[in-house]
Amino acid sequence: MHVAAHAIVCAIRVHGEHGAIARLMTPDDGLLAGYVRGGRSRRLRPVLQPGNIVAAEFRARTEDQLAGLTVELVRSRAALLGEALATAAIEWLTTLTAVALPEGQPYPRLHAALSAVLDAVEAAPSARGWAGAVVRYELLLLAELGFGLDLSRCVATGAETQLRYVSPKSAGAVSAGAGAAYADRLLPLPAFLVEGGDADWPQLFDGFRLTGWFLERDVLAERRGDALSARERLISRLKRLA
């Protein structure tokens, strides 16, 4: 196996006295893991930071063998590490990617979306400028893993307008009229996920509530631990701004 690509660092695990196992998101080969010799060294620790982009080269004699990995820094996001909110966003996005995706499966749309939302976190002047992109990334990841939500029409009536809720059972949208009597059993569907555009803080938190329900149930049911803790830290910090 030989893969050479620019990739996003998603997770690092110490291995042995000096090495590290890194999991990187590549454009064409999805999530790949490799052993970095000297990964704990003073030279490589700043390179192997979640969110960084590296020129990566994976080499293995067989597909079952953990690849050896060499990395060179292409783009650092170290400047964001002093910002608690940006750091929490990067931590959650990369942790979710590393935990949720199977290795060696191509997800080019997810790679492009992850790259875009990390760019938004880096460039946007305020968290409201990128929080919606985080929610959309979560929705895309659900869809790419086969747990997509149908937000195009009402699951009860087929109506394509006035969509206000999502059924937690079917993951389908529900119109205002069809869902009014059952609102306490349904999840709110914020308008920005259907109509696009900007969202205010209540809509953003409704979006996080919506995606969180299905992430916990369908993707992270057996792997909650660190992943959901990272998500909770992000949402907690966002709520301090609202």
103-148 pLDDT tens trace: 999 999 999 999 999 999 999 878 999 999 999 999 999 999 999 9
Asked whether residue 179 falls in the same domain as residue 191, the answer is yes
> CA of 54: how far to CAs of 18, 19, 78, 146, in Å?
20, 17, 13, 29
Asked whether residue 151 falls in the same domain as residue 99, the answer is yes
Asked whether residue 27 falls in the same domain as residue 84, the answer is no
CATH at 10: 2.40.50.140
Asked whether residue 100 falls in the same domain as residue 162, the answer is yes
The CA-based angle 105-107-109, given to 5 degrees, is 175
Quick check: 207 and 192 in contact, CB under 8 A?
yes
| Position 33 pLDDT exceeds 80 | yes
CATH at 160: 1.20.1440.120
C-alpha dihedral sign at 106, 192, 215, 9: positive
Asked whether residue 125 falls in the same domain as residue 208, the answer is yes
How high does pLDDT run on average in the chain? 94
| Beta-carbon count within 10 A of 176 CB | 15
Asked whether residue 37 falls in the same domain as residue 113, the answer is no
pTM for this one?
0.94
Asked whether residue 35 falls in the same domain as residue 133, the answer is no
Quick check: 50 and 90 in contact, CB under 8 A?
yes
Asked whether residue 51 falls in the same domain as residue 11, the answer is yes
When divided into structural domains, the chain yields a total of 2
Of 60, 76, 92, the last residue of a domain is: 76
* pLDDT band at 224; cut points 50, 70, 90: low
Distance CA 209, CA 32 (A): 30
Asked whether residue 104 falls in the same domain as residue 161, the answer is yes
Q: List pLDDT tens digits, range 185-211.
A: 999 999 999 998 889 999 999 999 999
Asked whether residue 67 falls in the same domain as residue 87, the answer is no
Domain that holds residue 6: 2-76
Q: Any residues with CB less than 8 A from the CB of 170 and at least 6 apart, and which? A: 150, 155
| Position 34 pLDDT exceeds 80 | yes
Q: What is the pLDDT of residue 197?
A: 87
| Position 46 pLDDT exceeds 70 | yes
| Beta-carbon count within 10 A of 76 CB | 15
